[in-house]
Amino acid sequence: MNTRPLMFFGTTNLDLCFNVERLPTPGESLMGGLTRYPGGKGANQAVAAARLGLKPHFYTRLGDDDVGRSLLQSLREAGVCTEAIGIARGEVSGSALVMVGDDGSNMIVIDPGANLNVTADMVQSAAEFIEPDAIVVAEMGLPISALNRLFEMKADKGFELIFKPAPVRPGLSPAAWASVDFVTPNQTEAFELTGIEVTDFDSAVHAAVRLLDLGPAAALITLGAKGAYYADAKRSFALPAFPVKVVDTTAAGDAFNGAFAASLAQGLPLRDAVKRALAVAALCVTRRGAQSSMPTAGAVDEFLKSQTILELE
């Protein structure tokens, strides 16, 4: 099976994770345990793909500090190709404060650090690592000017574009939106982009129509424990999530997105790619941390096999 090249553009952070019994209310103090994990939406997605057996390139920007060196080493150990990564002299690496309740819910605050200063020219330089017939995956944590430049290069480079619009921000040009092949928001992001509250598959149908009006060729909305809904101009379908015991939902969307891109790169049909991405996200939420929670291809195959057996029974 021929695998298409894959490249991710996005952020990398050190996650400072506090595990607490429940999320605090404003003004409340709680006791919790602190663990440090490598994270960042772009990095998490690239690691998800690497754990599934691909060798994705990744562009991000790290500070020249101990945190940046540790994050870079973690990416390399996961199997991510790091030649395109920029090192920002005199800047600090990004970090995130993550609180995770016993029910798996989370609250996240991000200090972007070196991620904040990615320029359009930096992204254009990194684009030399985009190979012919590649799938490119981007998330909205990078500056909008840099994303607009990346999306503008699609016509010349000829890549397929997957866009995770998180965190949602204004400023992406109409031309940039029109260059997106798959936009992959979760329920909250879909609401922020469309004004339609997504609570089930019926409301996802309406939100997908509004998303397609923005310009993308296809919309793929994740609905947490309910599953995912896909729509383009010709077809649509909904797939349920796999039931699992949730421990930490922090990187579920990143796991889904990275796995969806990897599955398309490996030549899986669209519906099968979405199903596999749901399986990767399901396994991800049963483990703590971001990159550390991404499952291997073997684990995913065993999980899908067990689910098939259950369906037959």
How far is Cα of residue 162 from the mean position of the Cα atoms in its chain? 10
For residue 60, which of 15, 122, 128, 5 has the smallest C-alpha distance?
Answer: 122
* Active site residues per annotation: 254
Q: Give the span between the Cα atoms of 134 and 129, in whole angstroms.
A: 10
User: What does DSSP say about strands 227-232 and 182-183: parallel, antiparallel, or unpaired?
Assistant: unpaired
Cα separations (Å) of 1 from 4, 33, 230, 266, 267? 10, 45, 25, 7, 8
